[in-house]
């Protein structure tokens, strides 16, 4: 008993402040319609050379489609264990498990430096909270595709708006937006103030 209490005290002492914070809910589970997934991957020009990370991966459809259709590798990070299990099972079933995996983790605490493409369908405030993480961890040239919500102050490389009936049950309207950004270096962002893009 004493030893268990001591071990707990020790682990509390060694945990970082970040470990002790409750995770931030970046959005409920609402899957992107498959047609939007295809468009997101097409606009980002995903290929077999890419390593794609989906932040809040739900049932894994974006990473699975990137691997199956475009030959990419990657992973999804998701806070809900049942969705992580479902996505890993789908990867096994479709013969993609050597190229993709899904992890139960907090997206804010996940190392994303390996990505050449980031995808996300998250709440608007969350998307904007990630800007510093993107600039700190992603290499210049990395593509970021966001379903519906923009990175405020960043100029998108492409921006597409369309009407989709499938979206009515998700957001109450047919409007669907896809934003593609290309990460600039921190220096390029600083020199353009709040406006951040590569190739300026
Ligand atoms: C709108 S769904 C998008 C699912 C998938 N990316 C898609 O587009 O089909 C957002 C997902 O993010 C997950 N999520 C929310 N907060 C998270 C966090 N802090 N870390 C990891 N996943 C999170 C939710 O459980 C949910 O499955």
pLDDT tens sequence across 149-169: 999 999 999 999 999 998 888
- Pocket test of ligand 1: the residue of 21, 23, 27 to mutate, having most ligand atoms within 8 Å of its CB, is 27
Q: What band does 43 get if pLDDT is binned at 50, 70 and 90?
A: very high
Angle at 54 between CA 166 and CA 169, to 5 degrees: 15
DSSP string covering 119-173: EE---HHHHHHTHHHHHHHSPTT-EEEEES---TTBPPSEEEEEE-GGGHHHHSS
Distance 8 CA to ligand 1 centre (A): 31
- Name every protein residue with a CB atom under 6 angstroms from any ligand 1 atom: 23-27, 29-32, 54, 56-58, 61-62, 77-80, 83, 106-108, 121-122, 147
Residue 145: phi and psi, rounded to 5, are: -120, 125
Give the closest residue to 63 by CA, choosing from 90, 112, 100.
100
> Is 143's pLDDT higher than 50?
yes
Question: Residue 192: what pLDDT?
Answer: 61
Specify the pTM. Answer: 0.87
Question: Residue 184: what pLDDT?
Answer: 87
Q: What band does 19 get if pLDDT is binned at 50, 70 and 90?
A: low
* pLDDT top residue among 185 and 135: 135
């Amino acid at each position: 008993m004493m030893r268990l209490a001591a071990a707990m005290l020790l682990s509390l002492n060694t945990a970082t402040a970040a470990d002790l914070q409750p995770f931030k809910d970046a959005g409920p589970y609402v899957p992107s319609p498959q047609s939007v997934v295809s468009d997101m991957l097409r606009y980002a020009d995903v290929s077999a050379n890419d390593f794609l990370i989906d932040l809040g991966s739900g049932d894994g459809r974006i990473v699975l489609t990137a691997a199956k259709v475009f030959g990419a590798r990657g992973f999804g990070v998701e806070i809900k264990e049942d969705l992580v299990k479902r996505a890993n099972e789908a990867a096994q079933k479709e013969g993609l498990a050597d190229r993709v995996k899904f992890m139960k983790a907090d997206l804010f605490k996940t190392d994303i430096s390996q990505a050449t493409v980031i995808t996300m369908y998250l709440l608007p405030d969350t998307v904007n909270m990630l800007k510093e993480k993107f600039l700190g961890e992603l290499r210049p040239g990395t593509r970021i595709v966001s379903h519906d919500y923009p990175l405020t102050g960043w100029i998108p490389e492409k921006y597409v708006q369309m009407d989709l009936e499938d979206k009515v049950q998700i957001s109450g309207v047919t409007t669907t937006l896809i934003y593609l950004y290309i990460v600039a270096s921190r220096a390029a962002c600083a020199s353009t103030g709040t406006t951040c893009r590569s190739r300026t």
